Amino acid sequence: MLRTFQEHHIRQTELLDGPWDFAADPGNVGMQEKWFERFPHENRSLYVPGCWNNELNLFDYEGVAWYKKTIRTEKRQHVRLIFHAVLGHADIYLNGKHLGYHYGGYTPFEFIVPSLPEGEHLLVVRTDSTLDRLTIPTEHVDWFHYGGIIRPVELQVLPDIYIERLKIDYELDGSDARLHVQVQVTSLAAAGSSETLTLYADNDVFHTEPIQLAAGQTLICSIEQAWPSIRLWNPGKPELYSIRASTGQDDKIDRIGFRRIETSGHRILINGNPLFLKGVNRHEEHPEWGFAFPPRLMQKDLDIARELGCNAIRGSHYPQSAYWLDLLDEHGIVFWSEIPMWGAFLPNETAAESLFQERALVMLEEMITAQYHHPSVIFWSVHNEIDSRTQEAYTMTKRLVDLVRQLDTSRLVTYATMHPLEDVLLPLFDVIGINKYYGWYEGKVGGFEGMLRQFHERAEAMGAGDTPVLMTEFGGAGIFGDVGWEPRLFSENYQAHIVSEALRLFKADPKIGGTFIWQFADTRGDLKSGGTYFRDRARSFNNKGLVNEYRKPKQAFREVRDIYRSWADSH
């Protein structure tokens, strides 16, 4: 499933989930041998969506691989192919013709093929999961390097006149809304034609108009309306509206929630009400599924987070699936969304590279476009733990922040720093996130007090003294089942001690507006027997989860549950 609701009632859609032919290409010979025309016979079958590293004899494989699927059209049709996420580099071929290239990993991209003839067609995908100094993330990153087509591939049949995009904006005055809707309609017809565009809110018509399009024309219809006394989307009390645009041949549906996001008094305000964020960091990863995370497990993760007492989730460290965001929308849980620029080992020279910056800008635009209508998304984060002490970091970050504000003025722009006492980026942001691991990577957990005192003084001196501060990462590793009479490294006891003591310190600081514990569940790390990075990852996992990789609770989970449930949301 792509969403928790149907996105089309009229348009014919099909998920190409299931077995695809698969061939690894460790020698990178597929282009030269034209595998996009003649797929190699020595292939195997892999399920899509999926990660090839979860399959036998492919656990450590990083590099080029090819997928093949035969699709069929019963008559000449306009076809739209949507790849909802392919890790790394992706080249798409149809019947031997190169449709296009995409770089990324966690956002959808698409191709429209007008008038595809009746019959069978060969769809081939060349992927490359290789990481290097200019990829995002770069070659040294603190999560496992999965490869593959990790989210569904969708085939849609388009009519001659189809709805290309539905974009919904609004302004709020109390509970009165001024709605701004843009519907982009495109013609694939050989001649001019006319249609009637109708807009619905929860099945009730609120606008209708005739439209005329010349052959090949794209038309943008703009509608403004006043909607008095609307139901507001609030954390814990979500209200959602289904908006449907329809022509005689096509339709498109999305959901929105009306809310106003502000900051004041070191707090995030939703509809004027201060919200203290009680959150965790969540990787969308599982040892049996990798990043191809099934909807059933998303529901379980949500249930566990609600049991914990969370009102917020940080999406670490990449755009997460639309189905997951739908669940958060429906349950009124706030979400932090970010691109996969993880920078603890990111060279300063890389941040200054134009290709690296351009890739980051594209990723931000794709993330914002894909997640624009989700009311749960409150934060756009531009990077995590880069070297934020340098002019190169400032120059790059300014470009990223400016783009986000150009694309969306309704949400808060943020990031997470691991250098809070030397960071030069503080004035650029609406919200500042701090990642520190006292009690684990440095000193004792009580070190947070002195660090935060110095940080608040420095933020004030830099003109960011009123900016809300969130503790976006803290914690320690605890191996599930390792318990003793007293706390010690890697025991559940010690992990619980670090997290619970840190939470008590943060609660006492009036300038801290929320906490995101690292992390929700244990995740697979990137360890290589001959490598020097992440050698502290016992079991080849980052063991800082409040639950283990199979979602079994640790002692820290139970202690955090007691603490989070005792804190009022408006703390």
pLDDT above 70 for 309: yes
Judged against a pLDDT cut of 70, whether residue 531 lies above it is answered with no
Q: Which fold has domain 161-249?
A: Immunoglobulin-like (2.60.40)
User: How many other C-beta atoms lie within 10 A of the C-beta of residue 148?
Assistant: 30
26 SS3 class:
coil
What pLDDT does residue 537 have? 83
The CATH number of the domain covering residues in 273-566: 3.20.20.80
- Sheet of 153-158: strand order equals 12-15, 153-158, 77-83, 109-116
Q: Considering only residues 570 and 204, tell me which one the structure prediction assigns the higher pLDDT.
A: 204
pLDDT of 345 above 90: no
pLDDT category of residue 532 using cuts at 50, 70 and 90: low
Q: Is 260 left (phi over 0), alpha (psi -120 to 50) or beta?
A: beta
CA-nearest of 568, 542, 547, 543 to 557 is: 547
Q: CATH 3.20.20.80 occupies which residues in the chain?
A: 273-566
- Radius of gyration for the alpha carbons in the chain, expressed in angstroms and rounded: 24
Q: Where are the beta strands (DSSP E) in 437-499?
A: 469-473
CATH 2.60.40.10 placement within the chain: 161-249
CA distance 67 to 21: 6
Question: Topology of 12-158 in CATH?
Answer: Jelly Rolls (2.60.120)
Going by C-alpha positions, the residue among 199, 174, 176, 195 that lies closest to residue 186 is 195
User: Whats the size of the chain, residue-wise?
Assistant: 571
Whether the per-residue pLDDT at 480 is higher than 90: the answer is yes
CATH 2.60.120.260 in the chain: give the residue spans.
12-158
> Which tokens in the block code for residue 339?
């691109």
Q: Is the pLDDT of residue 140 over 90?
A: no
Band of pLDDT at residue 568, cut at 50, 70 and 90 = confident
* pLDDT of res. 335: 98
Cα distances (Å, whole numbers) of residue 512 to 153, 165, 278, 475: 42, 39, 11, 17
pLDDT exceeds cutoff 70 at 166: yes
∠ CA 159-161-164, rounded to 5°: 95
How far from chain centre, in Å, is Cα 95?
32
Q: In which band, very low, low, confident or very high, does the pLDDT at 307 lie, cut at 50, 70 and 90?
A: very high
Question: Does residue 390 register a pLDDT over 70?
Answer: yes
Strands (DSSP E) contained in 84-118 are 88-94, 97-104, 109-116
| Helix ranges (DSSP H) in 462-536 | 492-507
Can you tell me whether residue 461 is helix, strand or coil?
helix
pLDDT surpasses 90 at 77: yes
pLDDT at 363: 97
Q: What is the pLDDT of residues 556-565, one digit of tens each?
A: 999 999 999 9
- Containing 244, the helix (H) or strand (E) segment is strand 241-246
Percentage of the chain modeled with pLDDT above 90: 92
Mean of pLDDT values over 217-228:
97
Confidence of residue 398 (pLDDT cuts 50, 70, 90): very high
Q: What does the pLDDT read at residue 344? A: 82
Average pLDDT score over the chain: 95
Q: Does the pLDDT value for residue 233 go beyond 90?
A: yes
